[in-house]
Structure 1
Amino acid sequence: MKPNCTNPEWVGRAECAVCDVRNFVLFSGLSAHELDALLQPIDNLHVPQHAVLYEQGATAPSVYTLRHGLIKLKVDLPNGGQRIVRLLRPGDVAGMETLVGERYHHTAVALQEADVCRIPREVVIQLDKTNPSVHQALQQRWQRSVDQADHFIVALSTGPAEARMARLLITLGCTGPLSETLMPSREDMGALLGITTETASRIMAEFKRRGLIHIEKGGCVDYDHNGLTHLALG
């Protein structure tokens, strides 16, 4: 397992009014005046690859909106392994359990370099009382997190290992006949799919041999969406 040897880096206050993904995050329904009226500062963090954003069981003072990158939410297993329960992509929100006074349910780790906004719990509670659109957005994102967890259980934990791997690659963002994305490590793939690292490596090698994927320098992968979709049905 790779060591978590880096930490999130504070790079300034978030500028919500000019955020590239503002339409997809919690504050999409707020005017510039309402944003300026926030009582607590929102921090802009750069999260290096493999850095831990927060730990399972830690006090949860903030929620996080992902603006760029890919973050995994994982739980540690008694045997020393891990199980990844969700992947966060731009626009997703993590740590919403803080809003009901609970500690973090998972450990959040950057699979790729990521940029996040750290939003104090008090800000969300304040807006929940004064702006119905924020309350609605929270409800929608909470439901989406439940749906994503259900998807992981059903799509990525059942059926043949090759079919599960194909579903994972599709889940990571394939949008056309050929698509490119940065892949998680084989260890993370195994944790996502409930298989060993060795099995994940073997399946990826087989996909490469069959022309379903082409791995480029830097970890980018071109892959055949139609071929993977057919395989995912197995």
Structure 2
Amino acid sequence: MTTHFSRVLPMIPIKTESAWRGTSDCRACAVRDMALFAELDERDFAQIHAPIDDLEYKTGESLYSEGQGAQGVFTLRKGLLKLVRLTSDGRQRIVRVVRPGDVAGLEALVTRRYDSEAVALSDVLVCRIPLTVLQGLATHSPRLHGALMGKWQGALKAADDWLAELNFGSARQRVSHLVRKMQSAEQPDEVLLFRREDMGAMLDLKLETVSREVSALVRDGILEPLDRLGRRYRLLDDTGLQALQQGD
């Protein structure tokens, strides 16, 4: 087996169509404290004998599809992902947004398949970790096993909270809750929203209602549009947004 760590160049992303090349240096990762490998020490890293890749995906690209056989899980280093499932009547439903440090595809450790589609909401950088690496480390490292279970429980709770919080209150409260959730981790005053159809499906609101409420936030000076598509906004009045969330 070849060693997959490389210190020649730091974290060079490779294209998604490439093979498993092992370009990652997990010990030097900028989000390691938030990611799965935060619990590992040098002895644990010595047990890793399969490649872990740094990959980049452009906005709108899919990392994997619902029901697809899984080879690994993904730790998000930069950007945002949405996890999408098809309902019984063929509609798409966004079940969770993945942020830097979060993990997508953990269900594959048990099912060997992905239970949703992961789509890049913005340009993203991810680490793709083979299932064999996680299974091997979980066997000999109780710390990592505990971290895996914690991440899994956190992901399930986040999915439940995501849907519960966004389907509570008036239309204005629901839209305000979503705006809050979609604040950028890197730049808290920036907000990245979905297509209005996606927002309506998540919030259980009509498309026209969502559009009207977003326009009201702009008109009231809470949001400022940053593009023509109505996806990127600057948050101008955090206090005002908080008041709307509370129904004031």
Same fold (TM over 0.5): yes
Residue 85, structure 1, aligned to residue 95, structure 2? yes
**Residues 44 and 137 of structure 2 are in contact (CA less than 8 Å); yes or no, is this contact kept in structure 1?**
no
Per the TM alignment, residue 77 of structure 1 is displaced from its structure 2 partner at its CA by 2.5
Number of aligned pairs? 226
Per the TM alignment, residue 37 of structure 1 is displaced from its structure 2 partner at its CA by 3.1
CA separation of 1:10 and 1:199: change in aligned 2, threshold 3 A: farther
CA distance in 2, matches of 1:228, 1:10: 43
Indicate which of 201, 212, 217 corresponds to 1:202: 212
Computing the radius of gyration from Cα coordinates, the structure with the larger value is 2
CA distance in 2, matches of 1:49, 1:9: 16
What amino acid is the match of 2:147? Answer: A
Per the TM alignment, residue 9 of structure 1 is displaced from its structure 2 partner at its CA by 5.1
Residue 16, structure 1, aligned to residue 26, structure 2? yes
CA distance in 1, matches of 2:184, 2:113: 34
Indicate which of 112, 129, 132 corresponds to 2:139: 129
CA distance in 1, matches of 2:163, 2:193: 20
Alignment match, 2:75: 65
Indicate which of 144, 150, 153 corresponds to 1:140: 150
Residue 41, structure 1, aligned to residue 89, structure 2? no
CA distance in 1, matches of 2:226, 2:111: 44
**Residues 83 and 194 of structure 1 are in contact (CA less than 8 Å); yes or no, is this contact kept in structure 2?**
no
Alignment match, 1:192: 202
Alignment match, 1:4: none
CA separation of 1:8 and 1:157: change in aligned 2, threshold 3 A: farther
Alignment match, 1:169: 179
CA separation of 1:213 and 1:10: change in aligned 2, threshold 3 A: farther
Could you tell me which runs of 5 or more consecutive residues in structure 1 were left unpaired when the two chains were aligned: 1-6
**Residues 9 and 45 of structure 1 are in contact (CA less than 8 Å); yes or no, is this contact kept in structure 2?**
no
Alignment match, 1:227: 240
Per the TM alignment, residue 150 of structure 1 is displaced from its structure 2 partner at its CA by 1.8
Could you tell me which runs of 5 or more consecutive residues in structure 2 were left unpaired when the two chains were aligned: 1-14
Residue 56, structure 1, aligned to residue 69, structure 2? no
Per the TM alignment, residue 33 of structure 1 is displaced from its structure 2 partner at its CA by 4.8
Residue 120, structure 1, aligned to residue 130, structure 2? yes
Alignment match, 1:108: 118
**Residues 184 and 192 of structure 2 are in contact (CA less than 8 Å); yes or no, is this contact kept in structure 1?**
no
**SS of residue in 1 equivalent to 2:36:** coil
TM-score normalised by structure 1 residue count: 0.88
What amino acid is the match of 1:140? Answer: G
What amino acid is the match of 2:211? Answer: S
CA distance in 2, matches of 1:29, 1:90: 17
CA distance in 2, matches of 1:165, 1:14: 38
**SS of residue in 2 equivalent to 1:23:** coil
CA distance in 1, matches of 2:182, 2:69: 30
Per the TM alignment, residue 135 of structure 1 is displaced from its structure 2 partner at its CA by 1.0
Provide, for residues 18-64 of structure 1, a one-character-per-residue CA deviation record: whole Å limited to 9, x for no partner. Answer: 21101110111222453243021111110110111111111122111
CA distance in 1, matches of 2:191, 2:163: 23
CA separation of 1:190 and 1:8: change in aligned 2, threshold 3 A: farther
Indicate which of 148, 151, 159 corresponds to 1:149: 159
**SS of residue in 2 equivalent to 1:192:** helix
What amino acid is the match of 1:61? Answer: Q
